Amino acid sequence: MPGFGPCVDGVYGGLKTTARRHPESPTLEDPMSKALTGKRIAILVTDGFEQVELTGPKEALEQAGATVEILSTEEGQVKGWNHDKPADDFKIDRTFKAANASDYHGVVLPGGVQNSDTIRIDTDAQKLVKDIEGSGKPVAVICHGGWLLISAGLVKGKTLTSFKTLKDDLVNAGAKWVDQEVVTDGTLISSRQPDDIPAFNSKLIEALSA
């Protein structure tokens, strides 16, 4: 499916990407290995998400003791992508409509063009993210995941990063865009691409542990 590959090495949207395909998440050692026991985190995706941007944070969060749920538009399964190729299927734990912000301590929004283009117009996903952010809980977004933040009206006046092709979209929506591996502004945590996943995971776990 040309044009719908996630943010990894190769020509992507006419631009050469610099990310490695599968960066490793940092190993979490005691005493932080169970710092998130009792915390529940939602990962919001639809078909076409960048697989490592789900699996990397999910593994790191679970190593830290958190319970992680995958949410999508419908029950069943959702398909990840590795660059421009379909990858694995993942079981959906709950739909956006069935989820409540009070059930979660934070949310992760992976990228991937197809996923991010679809999820940004889902009103249930928008509401869930707005409610979680409005409760003062971390909202962590990587790559093209920032599109949902734009559609949910959460970026005005915020400093964020993203995959470089989203820079104009974020700036036009009122955000300040910076080119850094991970950026925190209030409840929002953002990173650019798969290369940034270790820093992204560390900052997310730090925020959830606070």
- Residue-level pLDDT at 201: 99
Residue linked to tokens 């992508």:
81
Instruction: Record the pTM.
Output: 0.87
Of the candidates 153, 59, 35, 53, the residue with the CA atom closest to the CA atom of residue 108: 53
**HEC per residue, the chain:** CCCCCCCCCEEECCEEECCCCCCCCCCCCCCHHHCCCCCEEEEECCCCEECHHHHHHHHHHHHCCCEEEEEECCCCEEEEEECCEEEEEEECCEECCCCCHHHCCEEEECCCHHHHHHHCCCHHHHHHHHHHHHCCCCEEEEHHHHHHHHHCCCCCCCEECCCHHHHHHHHHCCCEECCCCCEEECCEEEECCHHHHHHHHHHHHHHHHC
Rounded Cα distance between 129 and 147, Å, is 12
Give the pLDDT of residue 209: 97
pLDDT for 61 equals 99
93-142 pLDDT, tens digit per residue, is: 999 999 999 999 999 999 999 999 999 999 999 999 999 999 999 999 99
Looking at the domain 34-209, which fold is it? Rossmann fold (3.40.50)
34 contacts 65 by C-beta, under 8 angstroms: yes
Amino acid code (one letter) for 81: W
Task: Please name the residue that has the structure tokens 């960066």.
Answer: 23
Of 162, 151, 113, 111, the C-alpha closest to 13 is 113
What is residue 123's predicted lDDT score, i.e. its pLDDT? Answer: 99
**Extents of the domains making up the chain:** 34-209
| Residue where the block lists tokens 């050469």 | 16
Q: Active-site residues: which are they?
A: 143-144
CA dihedral 165→201→102→155, nearest 10 degrees, is -30
Place of tokens 């409610």: 131
Residues of the chain with pLDDT under 50: 1-6, 8-29, 31
